[in-house]
Amino acid sequence: MLCERAIGRPRRGEVMKMDVPAVQAISANLQQSATELSDSAVTLSGAVEGFTAADAGHEYGAQGERVVSGLEGLSKRMFMWANCVNDTGAVLGQAATNNGRVDQGSASSISQGGVTV
């Protein structure tokens, strides 16, 4: 987890908090990567639609069918991968936001009790 103090344990009186902006930046990067991956899958899918077994040549119909099947499978897996990366980024961003709120709320509650955080 990204913390303000990245190495070692906190010293007495020191508070470790998640670096919320850094985690949110990672979240945004993941979601951008997912968009780019999805765009590539769309491009591949379009290429697959334009390719038939006959395009492989008269003598290579069976090989052409395998190429089409392989490209279709790759396209589907790329879409699934893009969805997983996007969902991971979204959940990570939400977790960072929630963690930041909890940190803020805890610090406020502790401070109201007379303890400096």
pLDDT in tens, the chain (117 residues): 444 445 556 666 666 677 889 999 999 999 999 999 999 999 999 988 888 888 888 889 899 899 999 999 999 999 999 999 999 999 999 999 998 888 777 777 777 776 665
- DSSP state, residue 43: H
Residue 5: its pLDDT value, please? 47
103 lies in some domain = no
Residue 16: its pLDDT value, please? 66
44 backbone dihedrals φ, ψ, rounded to 5°: -65, -40
54 lies in some domain = yes
14 lies in some domain = no
111 lies in some domain = no
Residue 34: its pLDDT value, please? 98
Residue 78: its pLDDT value, please? 97
Q: How many alpha carbons lie under 13 Å from residue 51 in its C-beta half-sphere?
A: 19
Residue 8: its pLDDT value, please? 58
110 lies in some domain = no
47 lies in some domain = yes
38 lies in some domain = yes
Instruction: Please give the Cα distance from 44 to 67 (Å, whole number).
Output: 12
- Domain extent for 38: 21-95
2 lies in some domain = no
> Residues 49, 53, 57, 62: what is their CA dihedral angle, to the nearest 10 degrees?
150
Residue 26 CA from chain centroid, whole number? 8
- pTM of the entire structure? 0.70
Residue 112: its pLDDT value, please? 75
Number of domains in the chain: 1
Phi-psi map region of 8: left, alpha, beta (phi>0 left; psi -120 to 50 alpha): left
